[in-house]
């Protein structure tokens, strides 16, 4: 008993160390409808699978205790080979769970299709995203401005993203808003998100892309319409302009790139970036990109 108590004390003493492992739970603190739907999907899937996991763990402990070597009262049945009740249980329960998860997956795959526009009475804002080494370029084609490593969006407004890469494959991800999707050279992927609350949310690449990958992060500023307009005015006050010549300098590999603004953008910049990898033919189809419906490689 003393030995067991000593082990428990040891486990408790190292428990705080697990809080320092860098575990990020932002995906479980959604600030938009897509993130909330994904959180619900994760929770539902987890609780469904625990229907099997918890009984298995408990029965394992029970069997180990019941049939321990020191328990002489345990019945020894070396010729036992079959139980219809057990067979029905071990086949029926997992089959029902798999069927439920299959229906859930089919339903959520279509509901959370990243290409599916969000229903809203508010006019959406368009943002073109370019993954570079090792930074993110955000182009606002309707506003004629651009920024590096800072994305600003108005709260309650759907955001229509067109995403590509001018380097190796990356993965565009804002955990609290949802919808991780690949950014690939010569191709466009699409994503539709919305922020319900004002906040400063983390964004990053979720796909390893070289030595500067760990610092390939950006901030997503979800602001009131008034604050967003003020941000747009601040960007337009910049003296830097993003034409093709300036873009080639911006696209050079850079680690820990600072936030920068461009008061004007070449309107053909995004399409030119996509077209340079496929002889002018823009690919805008996830099947062509060999991707599954959630933007992952399939």
pLDDT digits (tens, 9 = 90+) for 69-127: 888 888 878 788 888 998 998 899 889 989 998 999 899 888 888 999 998 899 999 99
- The CATH code of the domain that includes 188 is 2.60.40.420
- The CATH code of the domain that includes 60 is 1.10.287.90
Question: Are residues 150 and 107 located together in one domain of the fold?
Answer: no
What does the pLDDT read at residue 280? Answer: 46
Beta-sheet strands, E only, within the chain = 125-132, 135-140, 145-148, 150-154, 159-165, 170-173, 181-183, 189-193, 199-205, 217-223, 241-242, 260-262, 264-265
The reply to whether 21 falls in a domain is no
The average pLDDT across 205-216 equals 86
The average pLDDT across 121-148 equals 95
The reply to whether 120 falls in a domain is no
Higher pLDDT, 294 or 231: 231
The reply to whether 291 falls in a domain is no
The reply to whether 5 falls in a domain is no
Residue 213 belongs to domain spanning: 125-275
What does the pLDDT read at residue 71? Answer: 86
pTM of the model: 0.76
Highest mean pLDDT among 10-19, 71-80, 136-145: 136-145
For 142-199, write each residue's pLDDT tens digit: 999 999 999 999 999 999 999 999 999 999 999 999 878 999 999 999 999 999 999 9
Question: Are residues 196 and 268 located together in one domain of the fold?
Answer: yes
Domain count, the chain: 2
Token look-up 């020191």 returns 70
Tokens of 219: 């901030």
Name, in order, each residue with C-beta under 8 angstroms of 273's C-beta and a sequence gap of 6 or more: 130, 164, 166
Question: Are residues 139 and 96 located together in one domain of the fold?
Answer: no
């Amino acid at each position: 008993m003393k030995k067991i108590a000593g082990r428990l004390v040891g486990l408790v003493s190292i428990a705080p160390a697990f809080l320092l492992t860098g575990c990020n739970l932002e995906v479980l603190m959604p600030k938009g409808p897509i993130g909330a739907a994904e959180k619900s999907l994760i929770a539902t899937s987890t609780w469904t699978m625990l229907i099997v996991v918890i009984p298995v763990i408990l029965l394992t402990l029970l069997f180990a205790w019941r049939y321990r070597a020191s328990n002489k009262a345990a019945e020894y049945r070396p010729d036992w080979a079959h139980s219809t009740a057990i067979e029905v249980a071990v086949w029926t329960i997992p089959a029902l769970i798999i069927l439920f998860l299959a229906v859930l997956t089919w339903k959520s795959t279509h509901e959370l299709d990243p290409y599916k526009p969000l229903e809203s009475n508010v006019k959406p804002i368009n943002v073109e995203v370019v993954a570079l080494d090792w930074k993110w370029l955000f182009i606002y084609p309707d506003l004629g401005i651009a920024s590096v490593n800072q994305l600003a969006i108005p709260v309650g407004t759907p955001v229509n993203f067109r995403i590509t890469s001018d380097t190796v494959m990356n993965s565009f991800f804002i955990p609290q808003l949802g919808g991780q999707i690949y950014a690939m050279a010569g191709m466009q992927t699409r994503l539709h998100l919305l922020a319900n609350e004002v906040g400063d949310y983390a964004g990053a690449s979720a796909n390893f892309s070289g030595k500067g990958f760990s610092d390939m992060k950006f901030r997503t500023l979800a602001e009131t319409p008034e604050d967003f307009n003020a941000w747009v005015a601040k960007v337009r006050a910049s003296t830097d302009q993003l034409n093709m010549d300036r873009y080639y300098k911006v696209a050079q590999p850079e680690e820990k790139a600072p936030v920068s603004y461009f008061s004007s953008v070449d309107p053909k910049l995004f399409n030119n970036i996509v077209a340079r990898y496929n002889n002018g033919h823009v690919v805008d189809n996830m099947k062509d990109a060999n991707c599954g419906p959630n933007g992952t490689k399939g």
